[in-house]
């Protein structure tokens, strides 16, 4: 689901948490600096979803980097979208790619990458990475800053 093409309709209003990612609205606002390439980063260190088999919670640290074109994602709507996964049963790979695809579909960024750093399930951490292609030339692309899972060692 999407809001109108001209801007945010959730910002500054009481908004209930969407019951599912399909119901979540990703608002977008015009990019005032669409003439240059720059990186915008969203970090969600407490992302949760549900295991589709056991119904138990899964936890991840998500890092979303994108180079906007004409649109920016409105951060409140992004938070609500990510929160909508709390009752959504899906595998790690599906959650991570679903988030990236929705953002690409809604924003049409010049470039986007996502790192899904998932905490262990069944003793094995599953990290999921995806990007739309090659980043723009001369873009400052900092490391995502999340170490791979090392346990207590």
Active site residue 51: yes
Provide the sign of the torsion angle of the four alpha carbons 69, 75, 76, 77, taken in this order.
Answer: positive
Nearest in space to 85 (alpha carbons), one of 133, 118, 124: 118
Give the whole-angstrom CA distance, residue 23 versus residue 80.
Answer: 10
Maximum C-alpha span of the chain:
50
- Catalytic residue selected from 4, 27, 37, 51: 51
Which pair of structure tokens corresponds to residue 1?
Answer: 């689901």
Q: Which residues pair with 30 in a beta bridge?
A: 71
Active site residue 95: no
- Catalytic residue selected from 27, 58, 65, 95: 58
Which pair of structure tokens corresponds to residue 59?
Answer: 């936890």
List, by residue number, the catalytic residues. 51, 58
């Amino acid at each position: 689901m999407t809001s109108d093409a001209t801007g945010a309709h959730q910002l500054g209003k009481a908004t209930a948490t969407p019951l599912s990612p399909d119901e979540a609205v990703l608002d977008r606002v015009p990019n005032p600096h669409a003439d240059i390439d720059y990186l915008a980063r969203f970090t969600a260190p407490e992302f949760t979803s549900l295991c589709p088999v056991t119904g138990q919670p899964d936890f991840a640290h998500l890092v979303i980097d994108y180079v906007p074109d004409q649109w920016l994602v409105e951060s409140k709507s992004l938070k609500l979208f990510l929160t909508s996964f709390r009752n959504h049963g899906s595998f790690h790979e599906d959650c991570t790619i679903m988030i990236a695809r929705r953002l690409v579909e809604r924003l049409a960024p010049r470039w986007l990458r996502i790192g899904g750093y998932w905490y262990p399930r069944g003793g094995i951490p599953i990290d999921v990475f995806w990007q739309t292609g090659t980043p723009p030339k001369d873009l400052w692309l900092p490391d995502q800053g999340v170490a791979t899972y090392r346990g207590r060692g």
